[in-house]
Chain A
Amino acid sequence: GAVVSQHPSRVICKSGTSVKIECRSLDFQATTMFWYRQFPKQSLMLMATSNEGSKATYEQGVEKDKFLINHASLTLSTLTVTSAHPEDSSFYICSAGDYSREQFFGPGTRLTVL
């Protein structure tokens, strides 16, 4: 399957700071990238869908001003958690898909906000 990377794999930050997470598709051009968050022992919750060159589509209840998504190229999307708070601590996972509809997931980023 295709390879998707995320960076960083783990980040600890102070409350009020902003954190940027990168998602890269390494061996294919991703027309669409998805951002999920996952709480312990729970399933993946879709946050937003981003298409290259256009604005992201956010799921209901997800604040677009807090979770900024940029999909600047067919291989890179970024998620910025602005003014992070402890309740934002979670496992953030991106996935990348092409026209085949298959989605390939990154390894995830564990965010801890102190």
Chain B
Amino acid sequence: QKEVEQDPGPLSVPEGAIVSLNCTYSNSAFQYFMWYRQYSRKGPELLMYTYSSGNKEDGRFTAQVDKSSKYISLFIRDSQPSDSATYLCAMGGAGGTSYGKLTFGQGTILTVHP
């Protein structure tokens, strides 16, 4: 079993839709959670960074963490064609020699069509 599971999609939605992206994880030691966006042939761009269970909102993006269920989500409201990209969840802080290391999900390919 992978430490972090993410549905690779692809996910295709119409412009304006609400998008829900999800990851589950098995290592309860993870302390912080991130969502990255990666456009084709580019490096990942940090979108959201959270430590605790609950919701964190930034513009059209909401990150949700449920540590008890080992489940994180990213919601995108009013999706735009420019949101079309691969979205990667990442987790870190498992302690010991893994300080700073991130474990990534497989990535979900999102297409928002006009």
B102: chain A residues at CB < 8 Å are 34, 46, 103
B3-19 vs A: 1/0 string, CB under 8 Å? Answer: 00010100000000000
Check A34/B88 contact, CB under 8 A, given A93-B44, A108-B41: no
Docked Cα-Cα span, A43 to B36, in Å, equals 11
B42: chain A residues at CB < 8 Å are 107-108
Number of A interface residues in the complex (CB < 8 A): 25
Number of B interface residues in the complex (CB < 8 A): 24
Question: Which chain B residues in 21-39 approach chain A with CB under 8 Å?
Answer: 32, 34, 36
Docked Cα-Cα span, A9 to B26, in Å, equals 35
**Which residues of chain A have a CB within 8 Å of any CB of chain B?**
1, 4, 6, 32, 34, 41-44, 46, 49, 57, 91, 93, 95, 97, 101-108, 110
**Which residues of chain B have a CB within 8 Å of any CB of chain A?**
6, 8, 32, 34, 36, 41-46, 49, 88, 92-93, 97, 100-102, 104-107, 109
